[in-house]
Every structure is written in structure tokens, then in C-alpha cells.
Amino acid sequence: MLTNIPRHVGVIMDGNGRWAQLRGLPRVEGHRKGAERTKELIKAAQEVGVDVLTLYAFSLENWQRPDTEVSTLMELLHLYLTKELKEMIMEGIRFRVIGDREKLPAVIQGIIADIEERTSSNEGLTLVTALSYGGRDEILRAVKKALSEGLNPEDIDEERFETLLDTSGLPAVDLIIRTSGEKRLSNFLLWQGAYAEFYFTETLWPDFTREEFLCAIQDYQRRERRFGGIMSPSES
């Protein structure tokens, strides 16, 4: 039985466009291939016993991309959500979206709300999809929520503040994986990832296999997490 498995894994799925360009294909083909890869990752996370898997699917900054690409991404999202719903329910997956969903097309907002409701009692993997998401924006929205609720400064500590975030009720992120060779957070889970371990790979997202995901888990298992403390003499 596997031990020291990260409870919460976040994935920055980067490199779809470059994958397509390297093959002389339209960028949309990279996104299609990336969507297929996502399903494999979800199954791998279930197999090893991850409790929460958060996928960075569409950032707030992504709205600045060409209209045709954004439109295609929304179509792929619509297709994925409608196609995978039954399987999510059958496999016990609990689905959740974080981000400013009001910016999403109304039809997709409706589908998201329906899936969240229909999977809310599931007890398997919690699949969190970050859509129209930015870490700074999430923190700002949490501050505004605190103000709107009339909270006083003395009423707010870290525990209370976390209840105002999109990820309320979820454990902190233990491991963040980023593909494509970039080594930055790109505004992903800034609060939740304060003590996360990182795994960076040159692999472009459409080529990120189950085997490499397992390598990331194994790499995490070898690390000593001290959360700002020091290793005890017996561990040194």
C-alpha cells in the first residue's frame, strides 16, 4: 500500500499550444489532446489515493487570448462537462469549480451548477477545476466578502479567512505539478500553496503520462516537509 500520498495535488496544465505548434497543427488541436490527457490523470490520482485534484484549466488572463481560441476552449469545456458527468457520478467523483464563474457563458454556468449538485454527496476523489481563476482575484473576492459580511479585523484569523476562499473546506495543497518547463505559479492557488512542494517537468501537457504523474508522486514521497521548522535530531 502506498504511503505518504499528497492529499491535495494541484496541476498547472501548460504546453497545449506549443505541443500543437511543434507538430504544425492549430493550437486547438493541442487543447483537444490536453483534454484527453486530463482523463488519464484523474484516473491515476484515484488509483494512488489522492483526495483532492485541482486542475488549472482556464485562468483569468486566458480571457485575453484571441476570441476564436477562447470560443473553442469554451466549446471543449462544454463538451467535456456534458460527456463526463455520468462517469463522474458512477465513479463517485465530487466535482467543484473555483474562480469567477460569472464570467463564463451562462450555459456553462448552468452545467457546472448541475454537476456540482448531482455529485455533492459522492465520497470519492474531489475534482476541482479552476476556471476563470486567478489567485490574487480569489483573495480580493474573499476580502470583499469579509467586508460585505461586516466582519471586524479582530474576527479574522487564517482559519476564518480560509472559509471565505473558493476552496473553503478543502485541505491545503501538498504538491503542485507544472508541465512545459516553466517554473512559476502563474497566479495559481497563492494562499493554498504556501507550503506546497513543487514538481516541474519539461514535458508538454498533452504528453504528460500516467507514468510521469507517478514519478511526481514518488518524488514527493522522498521529500521532508518541515513547514518552516527544523528536522529533529532523530531525522537528521
Residue of 51, 62, 122, 207 marked active site = 62
Catalytic residue status for 122: no
Catalytic residue status for 62: yes
The SS3 call for residue 190 is coil
- Separation of alpha carbons 193 and 51, rounded Å: 16
Contact by Cβ (8 Å): 113, 144: no
Q: What kind and span of H or E run contains 33? A: helix 27-48
What are 34-39's contacts with CB under 8 Å, separation 24+?
34/205, 34/206, 35/76, 35/80, 36/206, 37/13, 37/205, 37/206, 37/207, 37/208, 38/13, 38/80, 39/84
- Separation of alpha carbons 130 and 14, rounded Å: 14
- Phi/psi for 59 (5° steps) reads -90, 165
Catalytic positions, written as ranges: 14, 62
